[in-house]
Structure 1
């Protein structure tokens, strides 16, 4: 991603921490990034385009974190516990990620439509951002499929993969519930151990 685009997204993210999205002005985002307003419009086309790009970057960052956790050298169960902890941490750490995972968008946040929008952008990254954005159920499926691929191992039967997929989805949904209703002592890792005492080794 070109440096100017990344700087503009960083500036938009910082502006969003200070004021509600409707009060974020394009001219201020450009000034914070140290580029012209024309550069901002060349990259994103509009404020809606900037919002879509910001959401797309947060979605990509969240999924990259999922991948890192799942590739850690640990046994299956510990990787899934780490995945649960990552989901909760990411959801609590970013209002945008929390909104993407739960579908609860406040008036303070940009809330672009999840369906694709017509794009005439010459910028490949913006054309991607103008495409469909993941819904909460999409995130569950994406993370579940990544978890299954990471921990299934060779020679696993179709039946075992199906059972593993159900178990992974259970962990993901349990984690998402902890984003909106934080657990008590022991946190999400203890809940996963209680719910899943034997399934994953």
Structure 2
């Protein structure tokens, strides 16, 4: 019981610190984020923040990880709203792009001084984000379409993830157009199995 209470309290503290850190980054950029100010607003010591996240870079990683959690929850809902595989691919990409366009923390991540710290977490050091998103999308779609070749589904999920992140970082077209194009490519690489008797 004591361990569960301690773990719950620690998670509440982490969530509070990340909420405040996100507000600070949105308002002042990454360079304007002061761990002392975050700790004061959260009602904890600066050392407590460092113990929880390691350092300021650890805070950035945790912010990206939590943002990814929210994206994946929304993607699951988008996939559940469609039945055909191609439309599920399209819904996945469209949700990610539309959400990215209106997410203030992500806007802060991709612009200004914050980009120096955060952008590599999505690009050159983005392996953990890509891998987690790939595996999650692959598992979700595989649950709906168990007859798809899992190797093709994994490879396609990674390609879709990489393309989607690329369009988030450098948007050139509407989310609808990009989603339709990526869905067409995905449906070609990992098509849904033909129904029996077709």
> Matched residue of 1:107: which SS?
helix
The residue number in structure 1 matching 2:146 is 154
Structure having the higher helix fraction is 2
Q: Are 1:176 and 2:165 matched, yes or no?
A: yes
Match of 1:24 among 33, 43, 48: 33
Aligned mates of 1:26, 1:185 — CA distance in 2: 36
Give unmatched runs, 5+ long, in structure 1: 116-133
Secondary structure of the 1:74 match is: coil
How many residue pairs are counted as aligned between the two chains?
177
Deviations 1:134-161 (A, max 9, x none): 94344334333333332333344xxx33
- What are the residue-to-residue correspondences of 1:81-120 with 2, within 5 Å? 81-94=90-103, 107-109=113-115, 111=117
Q: Report the Cα offset of residue 9 of structure 1.
A: 1.0
Q: How far is the alpha carbon of 1:194 from its aligned partner?
A: 4.6
The partner residue of 1:62 within 67, 71, 90 is 71
Q: Which residue is 1:5 aligned to?
A: 14
Residue 181 of structure 2 corresponds to 191
Compute the RMSD of aligned alpha carbons: 3.9
Q: Is the 8 A contact 2:86 2:187 kept in 1?
A: no
State the partner residue of 2:3: none
User: Given the two structures, how large is their TM-score scaled by the length of structure 1?
Assistant: 0.63
1:163 has 2:156 as partner: no
